[in-house]
Structure 1
Amino acid sequence: MGKTTRYRFRSYHVTTATDPLALPTFEALCVTGEEQDCAAASGELHTPEELTRWIAGHCAQTGHQSYEQTTRTIVRAEPGAWQ
């Protein structure tokens, strides 16, 4: 008979909290296009309202309606214990 090997995995518990000193960033990329995406980018903005204004302006100029939105925040890890 063959030998059975068992593995026990532990998990490391970490909680994260948004860093209150870091501003979030918002960015949009126009992905409208059939053969190729437009690829116009808003650059990093600091409020959702700024991002909405950029999208509205680009849409008004081009008629493009599809965008990829990215939101970035800085978080701090607070390590817990192995379990």
Structure 2
Amino acid sequence: MPESPKAGAPERNSSRGRYRYRFRECHVTTVPDSLALPAFEAVCVTGEERNCGATSSTLHTLDELTRWIAGHCAQSGHELYEQTVCALVRAEPGAWQ
């Protein structure tokens, strides 16, 4: 009789490794990290058959990003951009239950 594929494998206790989380009872506040600069990027998504794809570098102020978009728009006439904003935040636990 052929061996089962689980032959020789340690037996797992089905009660182990099960965790219950009650997300509604977990209170966390997120606070921006004052030492980290935010990061802004934009990608030109103007185009009918395919997106233009011009991408700004990573910029650290919204004004810099707006200037890049305005410059690309002036050169190309493109009007649609996807903006990404990244910032580090710190989770500060509140009442964990």
When normalised by structure 1's length, the TM-score is: 0.83
Larger proportion of strand? 1
Question: 1:23 matched to which residue of 2?
Answer: 37
Distance in 2, Cα, partners of 1:9 & 1:71: 30
Q: How many residues align?
A: 77
Distance in 2, Cα, partners of 1:40 & 1:33: 11
- Select the structure of larger CA radius of gyration: 2
Percentage of identical aligned residues = 67
Question: 2:18 matched to which residue of 1?
Answer: none
What does 1:1-83 correspond to in 2, within 5 Å? 9=22, 11-83=25-97
Distance in 2, Cα, partners of 1:40 & 1:9: 44
1:23 is displaced (CA, Å) by 0.6
Distance in 1, Cα, partners of 2:26 & 2:86: 24
1:82 is displaced (CA, Å) by 2.5
Structure 1 residue identity aligned to 2:22? F
Unaligned runs of 5+ in 1: 1-7
Unaligned runs of 5+ in 2: 1-20
